[in-house]
Amino acid sequence: MTGDNIILVGFMATGKSHVGRIIARATGRQMADLDEEIVRRAGKPIHRIFSEDGEAVFRAMERHAAFTLCEGGGKVIAAGGGAFAQELTRQVLLDSGTVFCLTARPETIHYRITRGSPSAAVRPMLGDGDPLERIRQLLDDRARAYAHAQHAVATDDRTPEEVADEILRIFAGEN
């Protein structure tokens, strides 16, 4: 495994995939989305993997996909919201590049998830009950894991392009 990937982690709806695509276009790097890779391999959406196979199966698939995607280097990798909270997956990601944790306030995340469509219904980690309260709980549960990222970049009140520009400035300063 090589250490020159740009890896985006953080909670759902912080912009990892969108920002990742912008960075990939700007740098000519290949974009790899961990959740999309899992869906491709499983042949079904993530919410069905959770409901039909369980979270443990999903996390094993996620770890294997992370290891595969990180090989070769030179990529922009967007990891799913819970991937970095899993110790083995986190280590694979940390070993393969510079990790940026995209952050947002719980209210921002809730707004992004629920605006315009009932997409919270297909977010298996939100489950039943109050989605905003579940977001707060998950952010608190994952805070120690997210702190392992080399950099944190806030996405509140910023365009994906602004976030991508900041990440590229930081990455260029390290390499």
CATH 1.20.1250.20 correct for 5-168? no
Residue extents of the structural domains in the chain: 5-168
pLDDT digits (tens, 9 = 90+) for 34-55: 999 999 999 999 889 999 999 9
33 contact partners, CB below 8 Å, separation of at least 6: 17, 20, 77, 78
Q: Which two tokens stand for residue 94?
A: 């940390």
Q: What does the alpha-carbon distance between residue 7 and residue 5 come to, in Å, rounded to a whole number?
A: 6
Counting every residue written for the chain, the total comes to 175
pLDDT digits (tens, 9 = 90+) for 127-157: 667 888 989 999 999 999 999 999 999 999 9
Is this structure's pTM higher than 0.95?
Answer: no
